[in-house]
Amino acid sequence: MIAGNTSILISTFYLGETLWGLDTLDAQEVIRVPDITQVHNADDYVLGIINLRGKIVTIIDLSRKLGIGSSTISESSKIIIVEWKGEHIGLMIDAISDVIDIDKSSLTSAPAAMNGTRGGFIDSVYQTGKQLIAIINVRTVLEVTEDERESLA
Amino acid sequence: MSAMDMNDETLLTYLEESREHLANIETNLLNIEESGADIDEELVNTVFRAAHSIKGGAGFFDLSKIRDLGHKVENVLDMVRSREMVPTPEIVNILLISFDKLKEMVNNPAFSNDEDIEEFVRALAGLTAETLPPEKKESVSGIVDIKLPDGRVIMQMNEFEYNQTVANNNYIYLVQYDLIKDIHDSDSSMLDFHRNLVGIGTIENTVTDFAAVGTLDGEILKSIPVYMLFSTIVNPGKIISLFEVDDSRITIIHDPSPSGEDLTDSVEVPAVSLPVQEPPSPATPVVAAPIVESPPVVAEVPAAVPQKPAPVKAAPKKTAPPEASSTLRVKVKLLEQLMTLAGELVLGRNELEESINQEDLKAIASGGQRISQVTSELQEAIMQTRMQDIGSILSKFPRVVRDLSRQLNKQMNLNIVGKEVELDKTLLEGLSDPLTHMIRNSVDHGVELPEARKLAGKNPVGTIDLRAYHEAGQVVIEIEDDGNGIDGNIIAAKAVSKGLVSQNEVDSMSAKAKVELILLPGLSTAEKVTDVSGRGVGMDVVRSNLDKLGGTMEIDSVMGKGSVFRIKLPLTLAIIPSLLVSVNKESFAVPQLNVEELIRIQPKDIKDSIERLGTSEVLNLRGKLIPLVFLSDVLGIKSTYTDPETGVESDDKRKQAIDRRADNNSENDTIYDEVRIGNDRRYHAGSVLNIVIVSSGNISYGILVDNLHESMEIVVKPLGRHIKSCKEYAGATIMGDGSVALILDIAGIASILKMSAVTSTIQSQSEDETEVSKLGQDRQSFLLFRNSPEEYCAMPLELVGRVEHIESSSIQIVGGKRIMQYMGKGLPIIRLEDSAECKAIPEDNLAVIVFNGFGREIGLLAMRPVDFIEDEMLVDHTSLRQPGIMGSVIIDGNTTMILDVYEIVEKLYPDWTRDTTLTASGSINKTESNGDKPLVLVAEDSTFFRKQVVKYIEGMGVDVIAGEDGEAAWKLLVESKKKVDLLVTDIEMPNLDGYGLVARVRADSKYADLPVIAVTSLAGDENVAKGKAIGINDYQVKLDKEMLLESIRKYI
């Protein structure tokens, strides 16, 4: 593997049966699913809030946010804590997989028809031998759009 | 000039210090002004030193404009100090605005050199020159060259200042430093040097001698000489050690001691000839010229002052948000306490870890206890670091009051008490604006002009007391003025005219409540819009700001004596006492501040306590109607009711019951029972109701929850961005077990439910009255039932007296007419099919709807179930029109016939109505002396009722005109070519209600004799009395046709 800035560490995880990835630098930690306090009347992709060492962290249903259904919490479910605009946010995933070290040049842009590409949620895709891993853009995924605010208001 | 490094730590320190210096200047200047000629030297010195250090430091950082302005201010202050100048209000004014400018520049150093300080400099120089004896005046614009021993002119000094310094018996030294050797290599900064010297003398100027540095092409820089001109009374023998440079680099420019005269000679204090010198700063000639011409020019200086705000105002655009708030001063003692506690915490943790390793349960328990104790102490200490003196915001008010009262030609004193009261930092920041607004209000509207005060026998100088103190765990801030007070009636009248409250409500208000209407949005009392206040936004903005801080406001006002505005604030926002409640095992916190009381209603009392008002339930709490909401409904939580039969499905059903439930006459016990027990499990016989009565501002309502739990102090944590838009929540908190509970936002929930303050102030009516919901203007309430399984019918709810379940066997047919025994009397029964063509009503599952008409009770047969609806709907008066059916509406997708029960009765019992028509025509003839039909004006906002009333009255053979509200009716009345003989008006109407309309009618002599009949659903004794008082001749309950027509006949 080539060291230095041409390589990138990708944390991969499952949403349903699909393998996804995000830049490891975006992830703060991965935690087990604690008790989630539901926030009634919040947007449907908000699963609720948790107490993460004294901080209130919003938990987002990543599947729903990406428009690929919704997640069911199981034994293997995990929450990836990411930091966004100074706030900690948890992304609910169905299972965590490996961290892979890949060369940036092996990333290609996402095919237009892919789920989640419309919102700019997918940065790029990585083709492994058997699978295609979509790498999400945490910032666009978490951006609160005007539409959403209005629909909530 | 090289670009400044705004992150340079030295610079930041300087700026921070300057801000501190500037912070107290205002107060000090105002005190100086107050003492006038009787100068408090120490005070002047304080201000002088502040100006001085700002100026001195600015020199080092090339902040030339700050330096220049600081310098000029210093000159003026120096003259005040030496009693050459009396600090008149004009002079203090100029000093104040100059310090304002300085503050602005210090807050924005990067742009300070682009600031235009010309006006300030000119005004200040003018002050200096003005007080000087004529022979010295020229020196103001003169320049003295300061030369190096080799004769090179290194810097210049204002001649006047030079002379001032010399006159004070100062030595003047020129010291040469080397930036590289002395400063850089010794690992110190210019600022350190500066600080060392400030205490003992004055740094007049600092100049870097770039000429001596040489070119960059040459050798590596070995030295950068900096020359500093320093004046002090310290003699040369001692000064050398202070400068920390060897004496060869010190030049004595002036020596005040007689023996030292030769030194001065050697430096050759130049006899300055103005024209030869370099152009002096452009300001000076401008000032010098007019002053020499005529002394009265003095007036010009203050005259220039009002223009000052222009540059000051322009600046904030580029001003970065005040940096001062990014740092916080903490007392060292407190910090030490925190350190100790942190140490304790670490010890506790070690102890606990140890005990856990050893699995010593007892030790674990004691360790846990220790940590808990330390934690609460730590929490308290940390909270204290956030506490700041309220004085920091109160101290700006003397200036505000002073400036404003001058501007308004008023005289007043401001007394401040309780500057030491501590408040949470965030609260303080949020409090500043509302307080300023209120103080300005008191000065502008509260305190009268001196003449008016004299006339009223008061001291022409008004007094405003600003007090802060602790009371019952809250901070109270009072602003009391001895002005004219607030006229509650004027406020109330204005609120009514703006449609913010109705006349009814106002009439039942206390004087205090009327005054407090000033807090309603959209009400500004200033009759005259002034510069100062009265721009239509006013106290309501203050109120909403206070609401955000969790504060409340009360107003006490006595006409002619003055007003007290009382603000109550929590000590801190971060930790609040809260009540925990739960719905469906989910916990929520309600801030204790919002909790008014807790109420448990036993099942047997539910019927008496809870009433229906429109679509909502209300609690009758000691005569006051409080709207109720189910927390589960607000938050969309599925109910916990565990009934295996109904299960999940019942949730939807219940929702429907809520939606469809409408206003009701409380005599309708049968319907109540049906709704309550049949459809609405929440009123299940077995369930106790737990209600939290909450209030926010002047809105109060009751929240129904499953359980009430304990009250506890909770730490408020903000919610993330994705949830921020949920107005139901004010934040979240972490409970003892680590779980998260949401904090309810009481004001937010009220706004989501579109609750208004108005609903909560509706006075309870006597039991048998019908209340009309105030929601929406074109809303109609109907009783829904069916005539046959496919025929949906409705009748206006206002007509309905009661609904009874009956068996068809109880109806007897007597002489072809149906009748049933009811409450000891025979009740005539009518059916829709008696008049309209429709299917026959089935024999079972019957209800009878009892209504009043023709002076008796009549029953209409209907199929159960009977339901209510209240909605905005468009009545189609034509398509299905036939006798007994006045029109149709679409309700829930079904075409529903609206019955005209009176028509059915008329068809069935023609003799009852014949009497009516006869008498009607008889009475009409009486007034037909002019050959015209009488004209009746109808005012009614509901389209449905307007049409009905018009139809009824037209049936009497008179002409009718109708308007959809008071305003429209008034217009019709005024514009009508024919004389209007009678006004029939509704009471509850938009724009101008019935009372307003009648008041207007009665106020106009033209219509003084116009008879008025009010037709309303609000017919309590109080209302009748009130209506009579303002000139309503008769009251008719909505909508008894016979009674109404009879009443009309009396008046035309």
* Predicted pLDDT of residue B299: 37
Q: Are B954 and B960 in contact (CB under 8 A)?
A: yes
What class does CATH assign to B332-389?
mainly alpha
Put the strands of the sheet holding A7-15 in their side by side order.
Answer: A95-103, A7-15, A18-23, A132-136, A122-127, A107-108
Question: Mutating which of A38, A53, A56 best tests the B interface, going by the most B Cβ atoms within 10 A?
Answer: A56
pLDDT at B678 exceeding the cut of 50: no
Domain A7-152: top CATH class: mainly beta
Confidence of residue B361 (pLDDT cuts 50, 70, 90): confident
Beta strands in B892-1033, from DSSP E residues, in sequence order: 894-899, 935-939, 959-963, 982-985, 1012-1016
Q: Are strands B171-178 and B143-147 parallel, antiparallel or unpaired?
A: unpaired
Question: What local confidence, expressed as pLDDT, does residue B411 receive?
Answer: 83
Neighbours of B187 (CB within 10 A): 7
pLDDT higher than threshold 60 for residue A122: yes
**pLDDT tens by residue, B330-354:** 888 888 989 999 998 998 889 889 8
SS3 B601: strand
Here the tokens at position B9 are: 């730590």
Integer Cα distance of B782 and B796 in angstroms: 5
Cβ contacts of residue B130 below 8 Å, gap of 6+?
Answer: B291, B295, B297, B298, B301
Q: ipTM of the assembly?
A: 0.86
Please state which of the ranges A33-37, B301-305, B513-517, B748-752 shows the lowest mean pLDDT.
B301-305
Per-residue pLDDT, B3: 46
For residue B768, pLDDT over 60 is answered with no
Q: Which of B636, B725, B738 sits opposite A40 (nearest CB)?
A: B636
Residue A117 has pLDDT above 80, yes or no: no
Q: With pLDDT > 70 as the criterion, what percentage of chain B qualifies?
A: 72
Distance CA B601, CA B617 (A): 14
- Residue A78 pLDDT: 93
Q: What CATH number labels B913-1051?
A: 3.40.50.2300
Residue A35 contacts B, CB cutoff 8 Å: yes
ω into residue B279 within 30 of 0, thus cis?
no
Span B767-782, average pLDDT: 43
**pLDDT above 90 as % of chain A:** 25
Mean pLDDT of B878-895: 75
Neighbours of B358 (CB within 10 A): 10
Burial class for A118, CB neighbours closer than 10 Å (0-12, 13-18, 19+)? exposed
Euclidean distance between CA atoms B697 and B714, whole angstroms: 22
Q: Cα–Cα distance between B781 and B957 in angstroms, integer?
A: 29
Q: Which of B90-94, B469-473, B1016-1020 has the lowest mean pLDDT?
A: B1016-1020
Q: Please name the residue of chain A whose CA is at the shortest distance from the CA of residue B716.
A: A56
Q: Which two structure tokens, joined as six digits, stand for B686?
A: 């077995």
In percent, how much of chain B has pLDDT > 90?
Answer: 2
CB atoms under 10 Å from CB of A11, counted, come to 21
What pLDDT score does B655 carry? 38
- Strand B707-715 with B740-744, pairing: unpaired
Q: What is the pLDDT of residue A90?
A: 94
Is B754 at the interface with chain A, CB within 8 A? no
Cβ atoms of B759 and B627 within 8 Å: the answer is yes
DSSP assignment of B487-532, as one string? Answer: -HHHHHHHHHHTTSS-HHHHHT--HHHHHGGGGSTT----SS--SS
Which chain B residues in 338-377 lie under 8 Å from chain A, judged by CB atoms? none
Instruction: Give residue A119's pLDDT.
Output: 65
Instruction: Give the whole-angstrom CA distance, residue B758 versus residue B699.
Output: 8
- The CB-side HSE value for B366 (13 A sphere, CA atoms) comes to 8
**Is residue B742 predicted with pLDDT exceeding 50?**
yes
CATH code given to domain B409-570: 3.30.565.10
B895-910 as b/e: b if 16+ CB within 10 A: ebbbbbbbbbbbebbe
pLDDT of residue B710: 85
Structure confidence at residue B211 (pLDDT) = 66
The pLDDT value given to residue A8: 86
* Residue of A37, A41, A43 with shortest CB distance to B739: A37
Q: In which element (H, E) is residue B414 found?
A: strand B412-417
- Give the pLDDT confidence score for residue B136 in this predicted structure: 57
| Token pair 């009565």 in the structure block, residue | B693
**Residues forming a β-bridge with B567:** B477, B553
Out of B442-451, B847-856, B875-884, B888-897, pick the least confident: B875-884
Q: Which of residues 53-72 of A touch B (CB under 8 A)?
A: 54-58, 60
Pick the residue with more confidence: B866 or B415? B415
- What is the b/e burial string over B791-808, where b = at least 16 CB atoms within 10 angstroms of the residue's CB? bbbbbbbbbbbbbbebee
**Contact between B16 and B327 (Cβ < 8 Å):** yes
| Tens-place pLDDT, residues B685-706 | 457 888 999 887 667 889 999 8
Element (H, E) at B908: helix B901-908
Residue B272 has pLDDT above 60, yes or no: no
Distance CA B118, CA B121 (A): 5
Mean pLDDT of B762-784: 44
Both tokens assigned to B83: 């009693």
The predicted pLDDT at position B657 comes to 32
Distance CA(B693)–CA(B976), nearest Å, equals 51
CA A67, CA B250: separation in Å to the nearest integer?
78
Chain B contacts of A57, Cβ < 8 Å? 720
Q: What is the pLDDT of residues B143-192, one digit of tens each?
A: 777 777 777 777 777 776 777 677 666 777 777 777 777 766 666 666 66
Output the CA–CA distances (angstroms, integers) from residue B16 to B58, B108, B866, in the order listed. Answer: 12, 12, 75
Please give the sequence-ordered ranges of beta strands (E in DSSP) within B631-757, or none if there are none: 689-696, 699-705, 707-715, 729-734, 740-744
Residue reference for tokens 């903490």: B330
Which pair of structure tokens corresponds to residue B620?
Answer: 């009758």
Averaged over B780-784, what is the pLDDT?
A: 75
Give the closest of A41, A46, A50 to B740, CB-based: A50
Give, for A125, the enclosing helix (H) or strand (E): strand A122-127
Q: Which of A35, A41, A141, A150 to mutate to test the interface with B (most CBs of B within 10 A)?
A: A41
Name the residue among A37, A43, A58 with its Cβ closest to that of B741: A37
Residues making up chain B, counted from first to last = 1052
Task: List residues bridging with A124 in a β-sheet.
Answer: A135
Which residue does chain A place closest to B727, by CA atoms? Answer: A153
Model confidence at B532, pLDDT cuts 50, 70, 90, reads: very low
Q: Is B638 on the interface with A (CB under 8 A)?
A: no
DSSP notation for B1021-1042: HHHHHHHHHHT--EEEETT-HH
Q: Which chain A residue's Cα is nearest to B735?
A: A51
Cβ–Cβ < 8 Å for B689, B597: no
Give the integer Cα–Cα distance in Å for B557 and B448.
Answer: 15
| Measured distance CA(B169)–CA(B260) in Å, rounded | 12
User: Which amino acid is residue A114, in one-letter code?
Assistant: M
pLDDT at B294 over 60: no
| B760, two tokens | 């909560």
CA distance B732 to chain A (A): 7
* Global pTM value: 0.41
According to DSSP, residue B717 is labeled B
> Greatest CA span in chain B, whole angstroms?
141
Residue A94's pLDDT band (boundaries 50, 70, 90)? very high
Look at residues B974, B839, B849 and name the one whose alpha carbon lies nearest to residue B905.
Answer: B849
Q: Are B378 and B345 in contact (CB under 8 A)?
A: yes
Q: Which of B163-167, B313-317, B910-914 has the lowest mean pLDDT?
A: B313-317
**In chain B, which residues have their Cβ closer than 8 Å to the Cβ of A149?**
725
Cα–Cα dist A28/A20, whole Å: 17
- Residue B947's pLDDT band (cuts 50, 70, 90): confident
pLDDT in tens, B536-570: 346 777 777 787 777 778 888 888 888 888 888 87
Angle, to 10 degrees, between the axis of helix B118-130 and the axis of helix B134-141?
Answer: 160
Specify the residue for token string 């408040």.
B423
The pLDDT mean for chain B works out to 72
pLDDT tens digits, B624-635: 778 888 888 888
Report yes or no: B796 and B1039 within 8 Å, Cβ to Cβ. yes
pLDDT at residue A39, as a whole number: 92
- Provide mean pLDDT across the span B814-823: 78
Q: Which of A38, A51, A52, A53 has the highest number of chain B CBs within 10 A, making it the mutation to test binding with B?
A: A51
**Distance from C-alpha of B722 to C-alpha of B44, rounded to nearest angstrom:** 55
Pairing of strands A122-127, A107-108: antiparallel
Total length of chain A: 153
Pick from B588, B705, B719, B722 the residue to mutate for testing the A interface (most A CBs within 10 Å).
B722
Q: Are the beta carbons of B635 and A51 separated by less than 8 Å?
A: no
Confidence of residue B267 (pLDDT cuts 50, 70, 90): very low
A13 or B855, which is more confident? A13
**Radius of gyration of chain A from its Cα atoms, rounded to whole angstroms:** 15
CATH class assigned to B779-908: mainly beta
Question: In this predicted model, what pLDDT tens digit does every residue of B186-231 receive, in sequence order?
Answer: 666 666 666 666 666 777 777 777 666 655 555 555 677 777 777 7
pLDDT recorded at residue B376: 81
A42 touches chain B (CB under 8 A): yes
From A51, which residue of chain B is nearest by alpha-carbon distance?
B740
Q: What is the pLDDT of residues B390-418, one digit of tens each?
A: 887 888 888 888 888 888 888 888 888 88
Chain B neighbors of A61, CB-CB under 8 A: none
Backbone angles phi, psi at B164, to 5 degrees: -60, -50
DSSP structure string for B771-833: PPP-SSSSEEEEEEEEEETTEEEEEEGGGEEEEEEE-GGGEEEETTEEEEEETTEEEEEE-GG
Q: Say what angle helices B25-35 and B397-407 make with each other, to 10 degrees.
A: 50
Domain ranges of chain B: 1-141+283-321, 143-271, 332-389, 409-570, 575-761, 779-908, 913-1051
pLDDT-based confidence at residue A13 (cuts at 50, 70, 90): very high
**CB nearest A56 (choices: B586, B720, B738):** B720
Which class in CATH covers the domain with range B1-141+283-321? mainly alpha
